[in-house]
Structure 1
Amino acid sequence: MLFKVEMDVNVPPDVDPARFEQLKAAEKARFQELQRAGTWRHIWRVVGRYSNVSIFDVADNGELHDLLTGLPLYPFMDIRVTALCRHPSSIHEDDR
């Protein structure tokens, strides 16, 4: 199943900067692992904000939930999820 996921990262002012840098590095490593696996298919930065719009390809809602809540930056995120389905006019057969 495909999902559009919008993530806004909200960093509290009292977060230790060194700890936050560690979390960002862990988040990047996890993202790249999921991208290589084909699970995190696309990511786009939202201009001017600490936000992204991503496309995930997972088996079901539960898998997406577990994946998102396991992200290192999850405690700092506001997340919006939209389920997607293939448009009948799409020329891409892998849009399932």
Structure 2
Amino acid sequence: MLFQVRMDVKIPSDMPADVANEIKAREKAYSQDLQRSGKWRHIWRLVGEYANFSIFDVESNAELHDILTALPLFPYMEISVTPLCRHPSSIRENDI
């Protein structure tokens, strides 16, 4: 199942920099592991925002929920999820 996920990060301004940097390092490692596994297919930064659009390829809604809630930055995110399916006019046969 494919999902588009928008993640807006809102780290509190009073969070100590060393704490924020440690959380971001864990976030990067976790997200890169998911990218290598193929579950986190794409990630794009949104220009001028601390936000991204990502595409996930997972088995179920529950799996996506588990992945997102395990993100180290999850407590500081606003997340919106959109389920996706292949468009009948698409010339790309490898996205289902």
TM-score (norm 1): 0.97
Which amino acid in 1 is paired with 2:34? L
Matched-pair identity in % = 61
Secondary structure of the residue aligned to 2:78 is strand
The residue aligned with 2:13 is 13
Unaligned runs of 5+ in 2: none
Q: Does 1:55 align with 2:55?
A: yes
1:25 corresponds in structure 2 to: 25
Shift of residue 24, structure 1, vs aligned partner: 0.5
Give the aligned partner of residue 81 of structure 1: 81
State TM-score, norm by structure 2.
0.97
Distance in 2, Cα, partners of 1:82 & 1:30? 22
The gaps in structure 1 that reach 5 residues or longer are none
How far the C-alpha of 1:72 sits from its partner, in A, is 0.5
Q: Partners in 2 of 1:6 and 1:15 — Cα distance?
A: 23
Length, aligned pairs only: 96
> CA-to-partner distance for each residue in 1:25-78, whole Å, 9 max, x for gaps?
111101110000000000100000000000000001000000000000000000
